[in-house]
Amino acid sequence: MNDCIFCKIVAGEIPCRKLYEDEDVLAFHDIHPVAPVHFMLIPKAHVASLAECDPSHRDVLGKLLLLAPKLAREQGLGDGFRTVINTGRGGGQEVFHLHVHVIGGGGPRPL
């Protein structure tokens, strides 16, 4: 996955504004935020999209979703937030390393 930009972020080869990290997951601010708060959660191990996930990804998928509200609260989004997972070209995915966008702070329906 040499050419994967998010794998390079995981490896520390490209900088990011990190919010959270553990052995399985990394969270960082989106470089082009679409709302006052816009960050993403990714698995550290490369998987291209939700469509490539299989049962071996169950735990990390659960972890990503459970972290979303926790980190959102820490970013001031206690009132709510939007989650987006773009999957495949037809789903508007641009970076082919699975990521969960967390977006908020821009009114009732930011994006």
Residue 14 touches which member of Zn ion, ligand AMP, none, C-beta under 5-8 Å by kind: ligand AMP
Cα 27 versus chain centre, distance: 6
Q: Is 65 in the site for ligand AMP (CB under 6 A)?
A: no
Q: Is 92 in the site for ligand AMP (CB under 6 A)?
A: yes
Q: Is 99 in the site for Zn ion (CB under 5 A)?
A: no
Q: Please give the C-alpha separations between residue 58 and each of 14, 43, 99, in angstroms, as whole numbers.
A: 27, 11, 15
Residues β-bridged to residue 104: 37
Binding site for ligand AMP (CB under 6 A): 5, 14, 16, 28, 30-32, 86, 92-95
